[in-house]
Amino acid sequence: MIDLHSHSNISDGLFSPTELVAHAAEHGVNVLALTDHDDISGLSEASQAARLHGIQLINGVEISVTWKKRTLHIVGLNIDVDNEALKTELASVRQSRLDRARQMASGLEKSGIHGSFEGASAYAKQSILTRMHFARFLVEHKYAKDPKSVFKKYLVKGKPGFVDHQWMDLESAVSLIVNAGGVAVLAHPGRYDIRRTNMLLLLEEFRALGGSAIEVVTGSHTAAQYVEYAKYAQLFGLKASQGSDYHGKGISFMEMGRLPALPSGCVPVWQDWADIQGLSSVQKLPNVQ
């Protein structure tokens, strides 16, 4: 089992890096990428835990991007954690996240929800402040029944906690990952409100900028989307990635260890990674030719 998208409490997951790796091991994961949002500080701890549990850890990160006024996520896999440009740029993004969090709290305050910044910060502890931390605070105080409901009611466009934030542009994010020796992967494309024409434009631009893979099998995709994005991968000559996007119990689309294999015809993103050659995660699904 190969899982190339997961989060610890360094960003918006519930588990520490050590706990996350242990959880992955308990659920049969052999290869795990820790891909915290805009932060790589949990990778050292995760690496130590991975050695203890016999898991191959892939150094990763997930970078937020603004493309045509939409927020997208680009995962970087096999990155060099000592790359100075990567560390500097991610630090800048984390500061912008803090600024956004204050604006979100201000919007919620105006709608009668008090103390959200402090409440979200208590969940985040020393990690970056994300929308998920606000969601957990709002659920705790009975403003919604679960995080998904919070997003719909408070944190999406047109709602009091929404902030129209300008993230890194696509070219900068892909270049940052590639220049750090990594592979740039378009994360969970099925989650974006993008029709086919824009998806084609996005993938064409992504590939031209140096992007080389797309998440085909991911926790938020349906079985039909596995096949759909396998077709896109083949159309653009992109490799296929897979990951649960695990955050923790109650706030994840899928439990670790439950990912189906990639559809046949996909070229796995790990195909040329010497340290995990021999592991197979491709199955026969409807023909994607």
Residue 278 has pLDDT above 80, yes or no: no
Q: Where are the domains of the chain?
A: 2-90+167-283
Average pLDDT over residues 103-114: 95
Residue 281 has pLDDT above 80, yes or no: no
Average pLDDT over residues 49-62: 97
Residue 171: how many other CB atoms lie within 10 Å = 15
Answer positive or negative: Cα dihedral of 104, 61, 267, 256. negative
Q: How confident is the model at residue 279 (pLDDT cuts 50, 70, 90)?
A: low
3-class state of residue 33 by DSSP: strand
Residue 237 has pLDDT above 70, yes or no: yes
Is 2-90+167-283 CATH 1.20.1440.230?
Answer: no
> Which residue would you say has higher pLDDT here, 251 or 136?
136
**What DSSP element (H or E) covers 26?**
helix 17-26
Residue 246 has pLDDT above 80, yes or no: yes
**What DSSP element (H or E) covers 257?**
none
Q: Whole-angstrom Cα distance, residue 117 to residue 106?
A: 8
Residue 73 has pLDDT above 90, yes or no: yes
Nearest to 225 by CA among 256, 198, 249, 192: 192
3-class state of residue 242 by DSSP: strand
Residue 241 has pLDDT above 90, yes or no: yes
> Which residue would you say has higher pLDDT here, 156 or 57?
57
Pairing of strands 183-186, 70-77: antiparallel
How large is the angle between the packed helices 116-124 and 84-110, nearest 10 degrees? 140
The per-residue pLDDT of the chain, averaged, comes to 92
Convert the pLDDT of each residue in 133-191 to its tens digit.
999 999 999 999 988 899 999 998 899 999 888 899 999 999 999 999 999 999 999 99
Residue 288 has pLDDT above 80, yes or no: no
Lowest mean pLDDT among 38-42, 127-131, 181-185, 283-287: 283-287
pTM for the model:
0.86
Average pLDDT over residues 3-31: 96
pLDDT for 255 equals: 93
Q: What percent of the chain has pLDDT over 90?
A: 81
pLDDT for 285 equals: 41
Q: Whole-angstrom Cα distance, residue 35 to residue 79?
A: 10
Residue 27 has pLDDT above 60, yes or no: yes
pLDDT for 251 equals: 82
Residue 122 has pLDDT above 70, yes or no: yes
Residue 130 has pLDDT above 90, yes or no: no
Average pLDDT over residues 28-57: 96
Distances, alpha carbon 8 to alpha carbons 60, 113, 130, 137, in Å: 12, 27, 12, 18
pLDDT for 282 equals: 46
pLDDT for 236 equals: 98
Instruction: Please say whether the beta carbons of 95 and 104 come within 8 A.
Output: no
Average pLDDT over residues 217-246: 97
